[in-house]
C-alpha cells in the first residue's frame, strides 16, 4: 500500500482515553483536531542506540522525515495494547518484546490532534522494516541531539524524545 487510506476508521477519544465517537483518517487529518489515539514505541538496543524509521514520501503527514521507531493509529475496535502489538509486528516484524510505559500526552499540529501512548523497549533481535516505511536504522543519542531542530525529524518526535531520554 503506497498511500494512506483516508476511509480507515479511528476511535475518537477524550483526553483520558475514553472512546466518545469515531471518524475516518481523512476527517482526523483535515485540520478538524478530532482527538484520536496513537501508539509510539521507542526501540533501543543494548548499546543505548535508538532505532528510528524513515517515513516514506507518500505519507500524508510529515513525509520523508525520521520518526519514532514505531508509530501508528489505534483502529476502531482495538485497544491500545492490541494496536501496539499490531503496529510493531507490521512495521518492524518484531513479535517478542516487552514494552515499558513511558507517558501519555496530547500532541497537536496544524492538521491533527492525537492522544499519544508512549512506550519503550530494549531489543537486540532482527528488525525487518516493512514497505510501510522507507527503511530505518539505529542512531546514537549524540547523533539525535545534533540533528534536532534541523528538519531531520518529525516535530512530534522532537517534542517526544525529551520525554523518553535526557537530551
User: In 29-66, which positions are buried (b, 16+ CB within 10 angstroms) versus exposed (e)?
Assistant: beeeebbbbbbbbbbbeeeebbbbbbbeeebebbeebb
Task: Give the number of C-alpha atoms closer than 13 A to the C-alpha of residue 89, restricted to the C-beta side.
Answer: 8
**In this structure, are residues 8 and 75 in contact, taking their beta carbons and an 8 Å threshold?**
yes
> How many H-runs (helices) and E-runs (strands) does the chain carry?
4, 9
Give the cell for residue 134: 522507507
Architecture of domain 9-164: Alpha-Beta Complex (3.90)
Under DSSP, is residue 108 helix (H, G, I), strand (E, B) or coil? Answer: strand
d(CA 160, CA 158): 6
pLDDT tens by residue, 58-90: 887 889 999 999 999 999 999 999 999 999 999
Q: Is the pLDDT of residue 164 over 90?
A: no
d(CA 49, CA 21): 39
What does the DSSP 8-state code read for residue 30?
T
- pTM of the entire structure? 0.92
**In this structure, are residues 163 and 101 in contact, taking their beta carbons and an 8 Å threshold?**
no
Give the cell for residue 158: 522532537
Instruction: Find the mean pLDDT for residues 30-45.
Output: 96
Instruction: Find the mean pLDDT for residues 117-128.
Output: 96
Closest CA to 52 of 67, 40, 71, 73: 67
Q: How confident is the model at residue 4 (pLDDT cuts 50, 70, 90)?
A: low
Q: Where are the domains of the chain?
A: 9-164
Amino acid at each position: 500500500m503506497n498511500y494512506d487510506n483516508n476511509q480507515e476508521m479511528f476511535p475518537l477519544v477524550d483526553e483520558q482515553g475514553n472512546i466518545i465517537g469515531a471518524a475516518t483518517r481523512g476527517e482526523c487529518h483535515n485540520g478538524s483536531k478530532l482527538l484520536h489515539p496513537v501508539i509510539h514505541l521507542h526501540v533501543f538496543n543494548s548499546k543505548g542506540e535508538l532505532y528510528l524509521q524513515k517515513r516514506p514520501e507518500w505519507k500524508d503527514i510529515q513525509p520523508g522525515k525520521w520518526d519514532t521507531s514505531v508509530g501508528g493509529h489505534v483502529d476502531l475496535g482495538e485497544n491500545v495494547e492490541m494496536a501496539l502489538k499490531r503496529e510493531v509486528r507490521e512495521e518492524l516484524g518484531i513479535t517478542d518484546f516487552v514494552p515499558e510505559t513511558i507517558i501519555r500526552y496530547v500532541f497537536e499540529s496544524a492538521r491533527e490532534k492525537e492522544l499519544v501512548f508512549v512506550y519503550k523497549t530494549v531489543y537486540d533481535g532482527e528488525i525487518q522494516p516493512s514497505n510501510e516505511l522507507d527503511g530505518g536504522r539505529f542512531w546514537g543519542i549524540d547523533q539525535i541531539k545534533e540533528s534536532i531542530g534541523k528538519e531531520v525529524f518529525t516535530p512530534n518526535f522532537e517534542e517526544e524524545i525529551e520525554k523518553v531520554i535526557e537530551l
